[in-house]
Amino acid sequence: MSQFILDDFNLEAAERRLCNEALNRAGNIVGAAQLLGITRHAMKRRIIKLRIEWPRRTMPATTLP
């Protein structure tokens, strides 16, 4: 995983950024948890705690006429 610089020393913001980055790279909770070295359950708890929107909402499906 590449390195990045934190804007400040806010631990919650750093944790949110790491979780978001891992979810974006892996595309799923299990893969993100593996990237971070935590369990799937711990990743799910962090998603809830940090109020990360998952699964990501996509464009609304268009209705067929």
Q: Where are the alpha helices (DSSP H) in the chain?
A: 11-26, 29-36, 40-49
Structure tokens belonging to residue 13 = 């913001």
Phi-psi region of 23 (alpha: psi -120 to 50; beta: other; left: phi over 0): alpha
* Residue 64 vs residue 16, higher pLDDT: 16
Q: How far apart are CA 34 and CA 7, in angstroms?
A: 25
Contact by Cβ (8 Å): 11, 49: no
pLDDT of 2 = 72
Instruction: Quick: pLDDT tens for 7-59.
Output: 889 999 999 999 999 999 999 999 999 999 999 999 999 999 999 998 877 65
